[in-house]
Structure 1
């Protein structure tokens, strides 16, 4: 036995490297299928870490599905789920641990069905049948609704009871269908077509109670999904399952988990409507009362301001002010008129002093030539020339007999 031992002890690194080479290079462990139950799961920023163990909990293995691989998984690991996992063994020397790197996950026992479900879901989603933009709002107060379910199922009784309690007088159209087994998809499609041909329903409820995966398989049938997606009437599904969504749920305009919840969602409660109405009446009364109080307070405030202002006194004061302004204006106008008269008289006197006729009145005369021009110098005249002398009173016509210039007069004075 000792002959198989190394001559010297291995380091921890050496030992883990040896174990890593054994596990990661093994052909079987590079691509191995493992079945077990998910006992714990923890979402990390790099991926989903979980533990897979046997049902009797005698053994477990740590697993990781990296973020890049999560969208490709047919089934997201959830605690309590039985899964079949495809992965490869990876050793982590620093922790001295190994774990399974996950490449694919399938539900245990129904792995093939789950894979087909995922493939159909991806194809229908690519066509846009599950897009939120396609979903229509449910009518708020429908008067006629249609129900597609089994006539023998408890779901039909629950829906009738809920609708009658919440909205008495509602017109309910029942379109029976088989909701379990191989004939269910075709039966459901025909029931939906009957409702559309009738044309009276404003909303359609498609429902059934709970059941196993096999019993609810008809709600993942492509024919049913397309019938719901193309129905011109808004569709709400109420299928009794809590864990997974069916493809019909994804295609419907709204979905809930039970038939009763579907009936509650599709119509309002009259008692709730009455309560809301009473609340609106009270709110309206309060709003009107508050508005009246605000208006009354504003009116009182204006009245008080009016009393404080005493408008009669203000009018009297304004009238007195206008009388004063009128008197002042008259005074200013009279003063300016007197000043204008004085200035006019002064100009008249000045003009009179410049008037030639006034000069003539004082004994002066104006000598004019025959053409009317004023004679201003003796040397401009000639002997025998006729002149016109203008006096203060009348005119005299004379003839020049002798001319004495200014130079001759000075010479005579000097001689």
Structure 2
């Protein structure tokens, strides 16, 4: 199908250049005063880049103050400060973006958002929500944890990868939430409430990847802060920022600055557990050998005493004592060796019990639905539904042709003879 291209059609570069001329030749935009609140600022080799936004967060513009202009500014842009900016609009064709080149910055007072943040922080601190004695310790060996984050964020993938590598066999409950924008606070609150209603998780990870300060505003929202503070299970935050802590970080039981770090903190490493087990074996072996050496020294001392005694009666007494000591040594040593053997076997069984592959090797299988959920009851399935069966060697895809309900339990008669 041939389509005639209009002669007036512009290329991307042509359209961008046209817009650039419109913006940069406009008399108002060549020298414009703008007032707003600094939400984020980053120093680079060429200058200071920052974002200026309205106090209610409805609009924002990117700004740059080049190095040769920084010393001339009456007020250095700092996050949370209200500024009056003099600058000109510039458009960058490579990115298709425009920004405000700053010539002067005048103080405009404390920003509304920064003021609200500080007021809320002071009130929460006065209520004791940041106190150390409120912090709960994390379980050492959790079997079920919950994760609240965006299903499309890289943070969710990083957490899954870290947990699978460090602690295979862990049950992870995912409660999706929006973690940026106006809809984020109620979404995060609902996700935390879902985890609490479920009741299986022993610890909750609240996470998102890095971003600008204004993108992390939902974690300073009072609704989110109170949901974390009142959560029935311990909460660890892994929000991808390395500068200021959010209010949610301050009320959480533990906070780390990346999703991966939070996942590493919430579960131990299987390799570390194995190393600790080997250390216990070495320590126990050294204790047994030390006890044997000590008893051997005492035995040798008794022998030496016998050599120095000449009377037959004393020799007989010492011989009896020596025999009794030997019996006692054998009993103690045998008991300790048996205890050590039993402890080693118990540790070996524990290590084997947490290996999911070992369960599959015994002939068991894992039945999953198409979306990956594990099937635990026939009542969850429907005729015609596709299932994936994971065996010790490979996987099998099957289709449900019949669902059999479990037989009802037979009634037992009580002491009065009634069923």
Question: What TM-score does the superposition give when structure 2 sets the normalisation length?
Answer: 0.51
CA distance in 1, matches of 2:68, 2:109: 19
- The answer to whether residue 260 in structure 2 is matched with residue 275 in structure 1 is no
Structure-2 residue corresponding to 1:133 = 133
- CA deviation map 1:53-111 (0-9, x unaligned): x86366769xxxxxxxxxxxxxxxxx99567599xxxxxxxxxxxxxxxxxxxx99983
The corresponding residue for 1:210 is 210
Partner residue in 2 for 1:295: 295
Q: Are the aligned partners of 1:189 and 1:223 in contact in 2 as well (CA < 8 Å)?
A: yes
Contact 2:82 2:111 in 1 (8 A): no
Structure 1 residue 113: deviation in Å?
A: 1.3
> Quick check: 1:163–1:264 contact (8 Å CA) kept in 2?
yes
Distance in 2, Cα, partners of 1:263 & 1:109:
41
CA 82–157 in structure 1, closer or farther in 2 if over 3 Å, else same: closer
Q: Tell me how far 1:112 sits from its aligned partner.
A: 2.1
Superposed counterparts of 1:316-331, under 5 Å: none
CA drift at 1:298: 1.6
**Superimposed CA distance per residue, residues 199-234 of structure 1 (whole angstroms, 9 cap, x where no aligned partner):** 000000000000111110000000101100111100
2:80–2:114 CA contact under 8 A, matched in 1: no
Q: Is 1:121 the counterpart of 2:121 in the alignment? A: yes
Q: Could you say which residue in structure 2 is the equivalent of 1:196?
A: 196
- 1:231 correspondence with 2:231: yes
Contact 2:148–2:192 (Cα < 8 Å) also in 1: yes
CA contact (8 A) 2:306 2:315 kept: no
The match for 2:305 is 305
Partners of 1:166 and 1:146 in 2: how far apart? 16
Change (3 A) 1:38 1:57: farther
Secondary structure of 1:228's aligned partner: helix
1:307 shift after superposition: 2.2
Structure-to-structure mapping, 1:98-177, within 5 angstroms: 111-177=111-177
Q: Once the 2 structures are TM-superposed, how far is the Cα of residue 314 of structure 1 from its aligned partner?
A: 5.7
CA distance in 2: counterparts of 1:84 and 1:129, whole angstroms: 27
Distance 2:294 2:199 in 1: 53
CA contact (8 A) 1:144 1:200 kept: yes
Q: Distance in 2 between matches of 1:271 and 1:187?
A: 37
CA distance, structure 2, for counterparts of residue 277 and residue 188 of structure 1: 40
Mark the runs of 5 or more structure 2 residues left unpaired by the alignment.
1-37, 44-64, 84-106, 317-419
Contact 1:185 1:218 in 2 (8 A): yes
Give the whole-Å Cα distance in 2 for the aligned partners of 1:113 and 1:137. 33
Please give the alpha-carbon distance, in whole angstroms, between the structure 1 residues aligned to 2:315 and 2:279.
52
Q: Report the count of equivalent residues.
A: 235
- Could you tell me which residue of structure 2 aligns to residue 56 of structure 1? 67
Residues 82 and 108 in structure 1, CA contact (< 8 A), matched pair in contact too: no
Q: 1:57 to 1:132 in 2, by over 3 A?
A: farther
Deviation of the 1:309 alpha carbon: 2.8
Contact persistence 1:149–1:176 (CA under 8 A): yes
Q: Relative to 1, partners in 2 of residues 1:82 and 1:121: Cα closer, same or farther, differing over 3 Å?
A: closer
Tell me, what secondary structure is at the counterpart of 1:272?
A: helix
The structure whose Rg is larger is: 1
Deviates more, 1:111-120 or 1:257-266: 111-120
- CA 314–108 in structure 1, closer or farther in 2 if over 3 Å, else same: farther
Q: Residues of 1 paired with 2:289 and 2:109: CA distance?
A: 69
Matches within 5 A, 1:247-262: 247-262=247-262
SS in 2 for 1:180: coil
Mapped contact 2:208–2:259 kept (Cα < 8 A): yes
Q: Is the 8 A contact 1:38 1:81 kept in 2?
A: no
Distance 1:220 1:154 in 2: 22
1:16-41 deviations in Å (ceiling 9; x for gaps):
xxxxxxxxxxxxxxxxxxx9x999xx
Is the alpha carbon distance of 1:56 and 1:291 closer, same or farther for their aligned partners in structure 2, counting shifts above 3 Å? same
Question: Unaligned stretches of 5+ in structure 1?
Answer: 1-34, 40-53, 62-78, 87-106, 317-415
Contact 1:140–1:268 (CA under 8 A) maintained in structure 2: yes
Give distance in 2, aligned partners of 1:206 and 1:315: 77
DSSP-derived class of the 1:232 partner: coil
Residue 240 of structure 2 is matched in structure 1 by 240
Return the offset for 1:251: 0.4
